A and B are shown apart, each in its own frame.
Chain A
Amino acid sequence: MNHQEAIILLPAYVDKELSLSESVDLEMHLNSCDECKREYDEQLQMSILIKNMARNYEPTQEFIQNLGMKLSLEPNKVQPIKLPKRFMELNWFNTWGNKGLVFASFLAIVWSTSLFLTLPTAQEKFTEELVASHVRSLEVDHLSDVISTDQHTVKPWFIGKLDYSPPIVDLASIDYPIEGGRLDYINSKAVAVVVYRHNKHPINLYIWPSNNKESDMQEVTKNGYKLVHWVTDYMSYWAISDLDSEKLLAFSRSIEVRVKESQKS
């Protein structure tokens, strides 16, 4: 794909409206083109900003009732559907109190060259990046670099590729078999990804060192994907999947428990 075509298609790429082959073509160009990268960032940031900070206006109940009467409809049946209109609205905001972070990204745009540039858009960008990485791994059929259902094959594969050794846990007995592992780049750092599968749903488990010893489990929903994050023994874990949150949480707890068990033994 040449530059001219890529620039035209970028908005649709941000909106996930491109076909698989177009996305792959565009990504190949995007990786090597700084202008397209900037354009992509701008499109994405503006999209996030509007979704989170522009207002949804709602009609008053009185207006809805009156309109129902004018159309002589039965009043009790006239109820608008309350759809979650904004993709990050519910979990993302409430769990993380993240308005401030969205706001920080707003500042970064508005005062892009001034002192606000250093404000932390980190968390926001970061989950965005994780989701993008997860989606990419599904789209380009690149889930695993090493394909094996055996933890003892996957674990050594990472040695020499990373400066830490990610704990690999086998959960085949509870129907979350390992499919393989791969290296991915998050925040410009190489990280370990262990791929699990549950009833045809792939789960990407990202693992890298953390400065904290432990943390509680937190759940985020982003672009329809569920993310669960926790820290065990100075390792940070992010599980991402399109599984429902109950199953992903169950998966995450099992990983956490087994990692702790394996440390004791």
Chain B
Amino acid sequence: LVLHEDTRKIYMNEPTKKLRFQTAIMPHIDSAFNLARWLTRGHQDAEDIVQESYLSAYNYFDGFRGEDGRVWLLGIVRNTFYTWYQKGKVNNQHTQYEEELHSLNEVADEPNSSNPERILIQKDSQRLLQQAMRELPIEFREVMVMRELENLSYKQIAEIIQIPIGTVMSRIGRGRKQLAAILTEKNGSAK
């Protein structure tokens, strides 16, 4: 909240559209990419969506009145993704976990995990969770990412998706339950 107020002040003081865009929207590129990457299967798709989102964001920027820049941008990222998705442009059929596998080498690189056996088990469970999240239907996956990874409030999520707050609540609740069910099932089949 504090950050938002500050952003707004800085934003109001910037003289040109370009500078305003830079202060209000560019800093949220991490959030935009994270959401796009979780919605899509591949790094390239995510980059394409973020790029297109930023180009539209810049075009529509005259309509931005200094409200929550991250919410505004993530709404555009989401719309861009769904437009792609409906056109079948996104490589969503293509199931591949190579990147997930690859990424796990970075994740477990922590000074504390010096025990090789533990690293291995940890990597395994991280991969399991990663895959389970990927198996969630998109409408649940997106709220989980917004809530748990982006730490957005129900109100912010409601604004991004344009649904009532009550629907946000039930999707988050059901999303967590489904994820728990997928994990249990995965464990059963792994044995």
- A71 to B54, Cβ gap below 8 A? yes
What is the 8 Å Cβ interface bit string for chain A, positions 49-69, against chain B (1 contact, 0 not)? 111011111110001100110
Interface residue B170 (Cβ < 8 Å from any Cβ of A): yes
What is the 8 Å Cβ interface bit string for chain B, positions 36-73, against chain A (1 contact, 0 not)? 01100001001100110011001000000000000000
Interface residue B125 (Cβ < 8 Å from any Cβ of A): yes
Q: With A47-B148, A71-B55 given, is the CB distance from A99 to B27 under 8 Å?
A: no
- Once bound together, how far apart are the Cα atoms of A225 and B144, in whole Å? 23
Interface residue B183 (Cβ < 8 Å from any Cβ of A): yes
A49 to chain B, nearest CB (A): 7
- Once bound together, how far apart are the Cα atoms of A58 and B43, in whole Å? 10
Interface residue A211 (Cβ < 8 Å from any Cβ of B): no
Q: Which residues from chain A contact B58 at a C-beta distance below 8 Å?
A: 71
Interface residue B118 (Cβ < 8 Å from any Cβ of A): yes
Contact of A46 among B26, B176, B187 (CB under 8 A): B176
- Once bound together, how far apart are the Cα atoms of A257 and B126, in whole Å? 43
- B26 to A73, Cβ gap below 8 A? yes
- B125 to A73, Cβ gap below 8 A? no
Interface residue A209 (Cβ < 8 Å from any Cβ of B): no
- Once bound together, how far apart are the Cα atoms of A67 and B18, in whole Å? 13
Contact of A55 among B27, B28, B29, B103 (CB under 8 A): B103
What is the 8 Å Cβ interface bit string for chain B, positions 152-179, against chain A (1 contact, 0 not)? 0110000000000000011011001101
- B30 to A49, Cβ gap below 8 A? no
- B148 to A54, Cβ gap below 8 A? yes
What is the 8 Å Cβ interface bit string for chain A, positions 16-37, against chain B (1 contact, 0 not)? 0100000000000000000000
Interface residue A141 (Cβ < 8 Å from any Cβ of B): no
Q: With A47-B176, A71-B54, A99-B112 given, is the CB distance from A78 to B130 under 8 Å?
A: no
- B125 to A106, Cβ gap below 8 A? yes
- B112 to A58, Cβ gap below 8 A? no
Contact of A77 among B22, B43, B103, B179 (CB under 8 A): B22
Contact of A59 among B29, B150, B151 (CB under 8 A): B29
- A50 to B173, Cβ gap below 8 A? no
- B22 to A46, Cβ gap below 8 A? no
- B169 to A12, Cβ gap below 8 A? yes
A170 to chain B, nearest CB (A): 35
Q: Which residues from chain B contact A45 at a C-beta distance below 8 Å?
A: 180
Interface residue A245 (Cβ < 8 Å from any Cβ of B): no
Q: With A17-B154, A42-B177 given, is the CB distance from A81 to B129 under 8 Å?
A: no
Q: Which residues from chain B contact A49 at a C-beta distance below 8 Å?
A: 129
- Residues of A whose CB lies within 8 Å of any CB of B are 8-12, 15, 17, 42-43, 45-47, 49-51, 53-59, 63-64, 67-68, 70-74, 77-83, 85-87, 93, 97, 99-100, 103, 106-107, 109-112
- Residues of B whose CB lies within 8 Å of any CB of A are 3, 18, 21-22, 26-30, 33-34, 37-38, 43, 46-47, 50-51, 54-55, 58, 103, 107, 110, 112-113, 118, 121-122, 125-126, 128-130, 133, 144, 147-151, 153-154, 169-170, 172-173, 176-177, 179-180, 183-184, 186-187
